[in-house]
Amino acid sequence: MSTPHPPAPPEPAAPERPSATLVRLRPALQAVVQQHGATALRAFGAVARGEDAPGTEIDLLVDHPDGAFDPTPLREALEGLIGVRVDLVALPPVAGPVREQLLARSMPL
pTM: 0.80
3 found inside a domain? no
What band does 64 get if pLDDT is binned at 50, 70 and 90? Answer: confident
Identify whether the C-beta of residue 17 lies closer than 8 Å to the C-beta of residue 53. Answer: yes
Which structural domain, as residue segments, surrounds residue 46? Answer: 39-108
CATH number of the domain encompassing residue 69: 3.30.460.10
59 found inside a domain? yes
> pLDDT: is 31 or 66 the higher one?
31
17 found inside a domain? no
> Which of these, 81, 102, 94, 98, lies nearest to 33 by C-alpha position?
81
91 found inside a domain? yes
Q: Any idea how long the chain is?
A: 109
Tell me the pLDDT tens digit for each residue of 91-103.
876 677 888 888 8
| Number of domains the chain is built from | 1
